[in-house]
């Protein structure tokens, strides 16, 4: 392993000596934010001058090792790009099927006839960092409690704020924070069908409030939607949940690819 300042490394690169441009770029991607936060100058508009950057030392292996590492990182980057495309296509497929599902027939029932809505008064400040049952907020799990409000399954919907109208399906014992409402299916209706229906439902006409938008079940519950027979609902939910499981697996794979890349970058610049 060799060591030089960034200035010397750049000179080495320009003279085509012993450091790869891609290797130098990877180093800055890993350290650039730290350098910027610590050494950026200016009050209104911060900047990072070259005379500051050039003084930092950088360690790097021989040219042969650099080429191997850069090649491996390039392969991971290509796989990450492919993975993002797979995830995008799966999301588009789910949305397309859901839209086809709700437009197959004429709206025949109001949302308030299909489900009931319950509010939560639980504040995020009341939840614990650890516990038996998860508590969901607008951004996912926000903490835990040793009690629960949802027993089997539910639809949680963001009732106000920037993510208003966003829905997610939960199963098992859990609770919702006050930023969410809990929707449960009435007898004869599939909760999962209603969940996929709501993912493509247009909440815009039912939003109120200027600075902070709100939605109320008493308003959007009046909207008519198409619900086929229970057996048809089951067919759709079985198909969509299968694709959803595939999507989750691909998202987990993407997380692992990114972790692999970060690990490799850390090993490159110990």
* Predicted TM-score (pTM) of this structure: 0.75
pLDDT of residue 264: 76
Q: Is 131 exposed, middle or buried (0-12, 13-18, 19+ CB in 10 A)?
A: middle
The architecture of the domain spanning 105-227 is Alpha-Beta Complex (3.90)
Q: How far is CA 81 from the centre of its chain?
A: 16
Q: How far is CA 10 from the centre of its chain?
A: 37
Q: CA dihedral in degrees (30, 31, 36, 37; nearest 10)?
A: 90
User: Which helix (H) or strand (E) segment is 158 a member of?
Assistant: strand 153-158
pLDDT tens-digit series, residues 49-100: 556 556 556 666 667 776 777 788 888 899 999 999 999 999 999 999 999 9
Looking at the chain, which residues constitute the CATH 3.90.220.20 domain(s)? 105-227
pLDDT of residue 265: 73
pLDDT of residue 7: 46
Strand order in the sheet with 153-158: 115-119, 180-185, 153-158, 167-171
Q: How far is CA 117 from the centre of its chain?
A: 26
Give residues with Cβ within 8 angstroms of 247, minimum separation 6. Answer: 87, 90, 91, 94
221 phi/psi in degrees, rounded to 5 = -65, -20
Q: Which contacts of 69-74 are long-range, i.e. CB under 8 A and separated by 24 or more positions?
A: 69/23, 69/26, 69/264, 69/268, 70/20, 70/22, 70/23, 70/26, 72/264, 73/22, 73/26, 73/261, 73/264, 73/265, 74/22
pLDDT of residue 170: 94
pLDDT of residue 44: 54
What angle, rounded to 10 degrees, do the helices at 21-39 and 230-268 form?
90
Q: 175 - beta bridge partners?
A: 135
Residue pLDDT tens, the chain, 270 long: 444 444 444 444 444 446 656 666 666 665 555 454 454 455 555 555 556 556 556 666 667 776 777 788 888 899 999 999 999 999 999 999 999 999 999 999 999 999 999 999 999 889 999 999 999 999 899 999 999 999 889 999 999 988 999 999 999 999 999 999 999 999 999 999 999 999 999 999 999 988 899 999 999 999 999 999 999 999 999 999 999 999 999 999 999 999 988 887 776 655
pLDDT of residue 64: 75
pLDDT of residue 6: 44
Tokens of 234: 């089951």
| Contact assessment for residue 243 and residue 134, using Cβ atoms and an 8 Å cutoff | no
* Cα 203 to Cα 39, 51, 159, 219, 226, distances in angstroms: 46, 53, 11, 10, 16
């Amino acid at each position: 392993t060799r060591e030089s300042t960034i200035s010397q490394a750049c000179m080495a690169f320009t003279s085509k000596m012993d450091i790869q441009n891609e290797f130098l770029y990877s180093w800055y991607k890993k350290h650039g934010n730290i350098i910027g936060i610590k050494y950026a100058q200016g009050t209104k508009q911060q900047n990072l001058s070259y005379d500051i950057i050039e003084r930092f030392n950088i360690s790097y292996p021989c040219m042969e090792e650099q080429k191997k590492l850069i090649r491996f990182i390039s392969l991971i980057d290509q796989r990450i790009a492919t993975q993002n495309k797979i995830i995008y296509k799966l999301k588009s497929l789910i949305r397309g099927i859901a839209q086809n599902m709700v437009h197959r027939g004429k709206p025949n029932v109001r949302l308030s006839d299909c489900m009931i809505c319950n509010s939560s008064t639980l504040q995020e400040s009341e939840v614990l960092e650890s516990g038996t049952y998860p508590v969901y907020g607008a951004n996912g799990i926000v903490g835990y409690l040793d009690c629960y409000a949802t027993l089997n399954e539910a639809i949680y919907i963001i009732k106000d704020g920037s993510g208003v109208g966003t829905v997610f399906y939960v199963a098992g014992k859990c609770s919702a924070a006050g930023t969410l409402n809990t929707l449960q299916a009435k007898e004869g209706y599939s909760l999962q069908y209603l969940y996929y229906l709501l993912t493509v439902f247009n909440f815009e006409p039912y939003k109120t409030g200027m600075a902070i938008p709100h939605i109320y079940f008493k308003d959007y519950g009046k909207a008519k939607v198409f619900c086929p027979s229970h057996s048809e609902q089951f067919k759709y939910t079985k198909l969509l949940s299968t694709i959803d499981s595939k999507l989750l697996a691909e998202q987990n794979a993407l997380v692992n690819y990114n972790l692999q890349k970060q690990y490799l970058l850390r090993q490159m610049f110990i």
